[in-house]
């Protein structure tokens, strides 16, 4: 029998890290690294896990590897927190198949961004989401990532899709606070609807606008700091929030390991390697940190007092 995630809280609040995908070789999941990573993240007090997002390098993994990751991760979590699974694909049929696999594996919800090769018009995007929802037994989160997908979930489309009961929230990684504010205002229409911000450097501002939490990649390595920062901001504790923000801002230098979105992924994956959680191997064709980038990440972690005394071997 597959393991099962606990019932999804509505709204989902707090820190829900987008889990890294530890790899042992090309397209091969590192099961031991995955288990270490999950135990570390859960010990930080997070509210859930998000598999196969941007940080999880989903689009660079084969369908078989994605399914294996879902099966293993849900088993390791063993019902301790809800597990959300990214299901986006340019094919509606593959998106639905992945969503159904996630349900069978015991996920609590699925997450769908916009298909990312041919930009969709908004009516096509709404039809795509409706097709997935019609054949998926799980709640669904929308994922707005226009920098990479070239298409926004425009606010009128969000309002339209909010009328579907099984669509329960939105993750916004646009970095546009005006857009986020509008979505947070829309969320007031449903008490069970959750707005989660992607860029963790916007966590405090997002909470001030009414966001319910954050899906930040740093939660793989410094989950407790993000949890504490979210709780301080949500409680309105300004002195503690400022102090935690300063610590967090220094750590965010990890995300500048090269250009493009891959720089943030390779930086946090390198950090996970340096603290002894999993290999920094990237899903090809993405490349791991260079020696210079690794030195930069090591310096940031050392300054923050996060380095493990026994970091695992560097990725090839």
Q: What is the pLDDT of residues 161-213, one digit of tens each?
A: 999 999 999 999 999 999 999 999 999 999 999 999 999 999 999 999 999 99
Residue 143 annotated among the catalytic residues of the structure: yes
179, 155 contact by CB (below 8 A): yes
Q: What whole-number percentage of the chain has pLDDT above 90?
A: 90
Binding-site residues from annotation for pyruvate = 55, 215
**pLDDT tier for residue 153 given thresholds of 50, 70 and 90:** very high
Q: Which residues contact 107 (CB under 8 A, 6 or more apart)?
A: 5, 51, 70, 74, 83, 84, 85, 138
pLDDT digits (tens, 9 = 90+) for 228-274: 999 999 999 999 999 999 999 999 999 886 666 788 999 999 999 99
pTM value? 0.93
Q: What whole-number percentage of the chain has pLDDT above 70?
A: 94
- State the average pLDDT over residues 109-126: 94
* Per-residue pLDDT, 7: 82
**pLDDT tier for residue 42 given thresholds of 50, 70 and 90:** very high
> Domains of the chain: which residue ranges?
14-234
Residue 76 annotated among the catalytic residues of the structure: no
* Per-residue pLDDT, 314: 53
* Per-residue pLDDT, 74: 98
- State the average pLDDT over residues 89-102: 96
Question: Of 171, 179, 230, 269, which one is the catalytic site residue?
Answer: 171
Other C-beta atoms closer than 10 Å to the C-beta of 40 total 18
Binding-site residues from annotation = 55, 215
pLDDT digits (tens, 9 = 90+) for 204-217: 999 999 999 999 99
- Is CATH 3.30.360.10 correct for 14-234? no
* Per-residue pLDDT, 256: 80
Instruction: Give the relative orientation of helices 122-134 and 92-105 as an angle to the nearest 10 degrees.
Output: 40
Question: Of 143, 179, 230, 269, which one is the catalytic site residue?
Answer: 143
**pLDDT tier for residue 1 given thresholds of 50, 70 and 90:** very low
């Amino acid at each position: 029998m597959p393991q099962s995630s606990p019932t999804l809280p509505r709204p989902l609040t707090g820190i829900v890290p987008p889990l890294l995908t530890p790899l042992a070789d090309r397209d091969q999941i590192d099961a031991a690294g995955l288990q270490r990573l999950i135990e570390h993240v859960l010990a930080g007090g997070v509210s859930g896990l998000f598999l196969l997002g941007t940080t999880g390098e989903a689009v660079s993994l084969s369908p078989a590897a994605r399914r294996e990751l879902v099966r293993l991760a849900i088993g390791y979590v063993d019902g301790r927190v809800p597990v959300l699974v990214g299901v986006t694909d340019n094919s509606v049929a593959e998106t639905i198949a992945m969503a159904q696999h996630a349900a069978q594996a015991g996920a609590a919800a699925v997450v769908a961004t916009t298909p990312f090769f041919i930009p969709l018009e908004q009516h096509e995007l709404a039809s795509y989401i409706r097709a997935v929802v019609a054949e998926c037994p799980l709640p669904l989160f929308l994922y707005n990532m226009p920098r990479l997908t070239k298409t926004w979930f425009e606010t009128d489309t969000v309002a339209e899709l909010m009328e579907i009961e099984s669509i329960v929230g939105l993750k916004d990684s646009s970095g546009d606070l005006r857009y986020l504010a509008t979505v947070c205002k829309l969320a007031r229409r449903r008490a069970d609807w959750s707005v989660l911000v992607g860029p963790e450097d916007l966590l405090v501002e997002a909470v001030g606008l009414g966001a319910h939490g954050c899906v930040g990649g740093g939660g793989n390595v410094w989950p407790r700091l993000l949890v504490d920062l979210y709780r301080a901001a949500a409680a309105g504790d300004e002195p503690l929030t400022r102090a935690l923000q300063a610590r967090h801002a220094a750590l965010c230098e990890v995300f500048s390991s090269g250009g493009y979105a891959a720089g943030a992924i390779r930086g946090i994956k390198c950090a996970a390697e340096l603290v002894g959680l999993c290999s920094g191997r990237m899903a090809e064709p993405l490349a791991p940190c260079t020696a210079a980038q690794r030195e930069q990440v090591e310096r940031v972690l050392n300054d923050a007092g996060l380095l493990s005394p026994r970091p695992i071997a560097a990725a090839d």
